[in-house]
Amino acid sequence: MNRKTFKATLITTLSATLLAVTPAISMAGMGYGTAYGTAHGEKPASRADIVDTAISAGQFNTLAKALTVAGLVDTLKGAGPFTVFAPTDAAFAKIPADKLNALLADKAALTKVLTYHVVPGRILARDVKSGEVKTAQGQAITIKAGKTGVMVNDARVVQTDVMASNGVIHVIDTVILPN
């Protein structure tokens, strides 16, 4: 790569990074993560896709690693829209290390677990109702919406409506497992 091409690539990369990080910094005190606020209280889509939005949040390192191992990064960077119930690093830490390492070593099982966290379409918090919703993995998850919050199977939704260009992320505190 010549010096001119290297410099152009570096400028493009830095510009994209600044575009992704600036909203997170400016909105962090408002509880919006990497999304932008509007006059109506709704958080419109970030310029970043689901994968880049999750990575920039800093609490989904294990999820990002798992998506890479399973070969699902390109899928979740696709057009979507997707609703992702994203377990945090703390959620993955609840899994014993030997079981987590075994899961990460089994691409087929890992793919089933990760796609069980994805629902086709964009489901915002205001649209959530109790019931079953079919996942991209094929099995349904059970959603319980009540006065104390929302549960997805045995996982508590701890943050909602983290908007991305191709969908929405709802943060959960436990990794959910298909049958």
pLDDT score for 147: 86
> What is the pLDDT averaged over residues 145-164?
93
Q: Tell whether 21 is covered by a domain.
A: no
- Write down the mean pLDDT value for the chain: 79
pLDDT tens for 26-62 read 223 223 333 333 333 444 445 889 999 999 988 999 9
- Domain containing residue 110: CATH number: 2.30.180.10
pLDDT score for 131: 95
pLDDT score for 15: 34
Provide the residue type at 168 as one letter.
V
| Residue spans of alpha helices (H) in the chain | 3-27, 50-57, 61-70, 73-76, 89-93, 97-105, 107-115
Q: Are strands 82-87 and 167-172 parallel, antiparallel or unpaired?
A: parallel
> What is the pLDDT averaged over residues 76-101?
94
Is the per-residue pLDDT at 13 higher than 50? no
Tally of domains in the chain: 1
Q: Tell whether 112 is covered by a domain.
A: yes
Q: Tell whether 5 is covered by a domain.
A: no
The winner for highest mean pLDDT among 12-16, 34-38, 82-86 is 82-86
Q: Which domain holds residue 96?
A: 48-172
- More confident position, 146 or 96: 96
Q: Tell whether 43 is covered by a domain.
A: no
- CA pseudo-torsion sign 45, 51, 57, 62: positive
pLDDT score for 140: 96
pTM: 0.74
Contact 42, 122 (CB under 8 A): no
Q: Tell whether 106 is covered by a domain.
A: yes
pLDDT score for 177: 95
Is the per-residue pLDDT at 8 higher than 70? no
Q: Tell whether 36 is covered by a domain.
A: no
Q: Tell whether 37 is covered by a domain.
A: no
pLDDT score for 80: 87
pLDDT score for 46: 54
